[in-house]
Amino acid sequence: MLNIMKIFIGALVGGFIIFIWQFLSWTIINLHRPAQQYTPKQDSILAYLNTQFDSSAAYFLPNLPEGASQDEMKKYEEDVKGKPWVQLAYHKSYDASMGINIIKALVTDILIVLFFCWIISGFTKNSFGKTFLAALLTGLIIYLNANYIVHIWYETFDASAYLTDYLISWGATGVWLGWWLNRREI
């Protein structure tokens, strides 16, 4: 059984590892660019959308109104097959709040690694290899459950970037935790 301080330090450093990779992935390396393309028509598109929506919301176009009948759904499926579609998240006001968002992301990363450490602390016999593999599989589970399932239905443009993110960040965290949690105390 691991002691609480060892788990806490493991989670703190592991959370920082994931956070740093996320920063690199979304900024310097820019893996997610395919899902954030630029269009020179952005100003006119945003001006038009602003006349169409009263508040922030997410839309899937084309779509049916809530409560549509089975017959309407069947006709809709026939009508939209092979035609363009869009998934749109519209926000009435831009506010990045970088400081708060950075703190929220870092705390979240530390918490998820803390949960992971708590789970593996229950291993009867742990080792570097078991910790590393468990971390890698955790990253893969997160990807498959969150991003890949969404990609199956909505054909996202950065599915491979998310896979890279989870394998690298959880792999690096697994190396750290594999060493830290399984090292012999002096």
Domain ranges across the chain: 4-38+96-180
pLDDT at residue 186, rounded to an integer: 59
Q: Which residue type is seen at 175? A: V
- Convert the pLDDT of each residue in 46-82 to its tens digit: 999 999 999 999 999 999 999 999 999 999 999 999 9
Confidence of residue 2 (pLDDT cuts 50, 70, 90): low
Give which of 117, 158, 95 is closest to 18, Cα–Cα: 117
Q: Using 50, 70 and 90 to split pLDDT, how confident is the model at 1?
A: low
Q: Which two tokens stand for residue 20?
A: 């740093």
pLDDT digits (tens, 9 = 90+) for 71-125: 999 999 999 999 999 999 999 999 878 999 999 999 999 999 999 999 999 998 9
Question: Per-residue pLDDT tens for 135-149?
Answer: 999 999 999 999 999
Question: Over the stretch 136-184, which tens digit does the pLDDT of each residue have?
Answer: 999 999 999 999 999 999 999 999 999 999 999 999 999 999 999 998 7
Q: How many whole angstroms separate alpha carbon 161 and alpha carbon 147?
A: 10
Among candidates 22, 15, 19, which has minimal Cα distance to 162?
Answer: 22
| pLDDT of the residue at 96 | 78
pLDDT of residue 10: 97
Contact 143, 163 (CB under 8 A): yes
3-class secondary-structure state, position 15: helix
